[in-house]
Amino acid sequence: MSDGTPKNDVARPARDHEAADDPGVLARVAQQRSTRRAFIKGVIASGAAVSAAGYLFARPGAALAQAPGAVERLISLNVNGQVRRVDVLPQETLAMTLPYKLGLTGTKLGCDRGECGACTVLVDDVPLYACSVLTHGMRERAITTVEGVEGPDGALHPVQQAFVDELGPQCGFCTPGQVMAAVGLLKANPNPTVEEARLAMSGNICRCGAYDHYLRGVMRAAGEA
């Protein structure tokens, strides 16, 4: 027979108090947390172990197998006469690799669609838009950027000096591409006519409108070469 006492209300605080005082409960909770942490650490460690297994247990001199269709990311590039090792993504363009991976910031990324010419470099002495070629296709090719045309003592290239003398650079963003297009022209044709020079430089956009200044610079450099 009930005496009217709310047994549930009285018993619940008692059970909670007993659970709080029971060292076994706390130990089990602590053990569960520790086990969870250990499990996560174990997953991470096992993943690292599996990744490294091929390196640890490979036969000396044996090449690591790659998945079918995989592209080797660590490649060698001949840039400005130096062989540079660089990690390159499969779809990465030369315009991304040169400034962001190799620190050659003279190569400017403008339109990124092969129209403005700001990223012009020489590949085997031929002017190319760096944004329009994949870096992986540049293996065993000789790449020259604007940093590579200066003299051994740091003197300006005749094209660079001629552009300065003719007041070609205005904002300067397109200037590296203009320089490389002109250098490529003079390598192929040391004595171009004005029309030949105009045609060779037509792929480089100058948003400041200094086309005549750059053209006169090309002709000045041709006369001094």
Strands (E), 102-220: 120-123, 126-129, 142-144
Query: Are residue 27 and residue 137 in the same domain, yes or no?
Result: no
Report the alpha-carbon distance of residue 130 to residue 99 in Å, rounded.
11
CATH number for the domain spanning 128: value is 3.10.20.30
* Inside any domain, residue 14: yes
Query: Are residue 51 and residue 78 in the same domain, yes or no?
Result: no
Report the alpha-carbon distance of residue 80 to residue 121 in Å, rounded.
11
Give me the pLDDT at residue 70, please: 67
Query: Are residue 160 and residue 211 in the same domain, yes or no?
Result: yes
Contact indicator for 185, 122 with CB cutoff of 8 Å:
no
* Inside any domain, residue 28: yes
Contact indicator for 88, 126 with CB cutoff of 8 Å:
no
* Least confident span in 19-23, 177-181, 191-195: 19-23
Query: Are residue 52 and residue 102 in the same domain, yes or no?
Result: no
* Inside any domain, residue 29: yes
pLDDT tens by residue, 48-79: 454 444 444 545 544 445 566 667 899 999 99
* Inside any domain, residue 151: yes
pLDDT tens by residue, 192-220: 999 999 999 999 999 999 999 999 999 99
Q: Is residue 36 very low, low, confident or very high in pLDDT (cuts 50, 70, 90)?
A: low
Task: Give the number of domains in the chain.
Answer: 2
Report the alpha-carbon distance of residue 81 to residue 154 in Å, rounded.
15
Range(s) of the domain holding residue 15: 9-56
Report whether pLDDT(221) > 90: yes
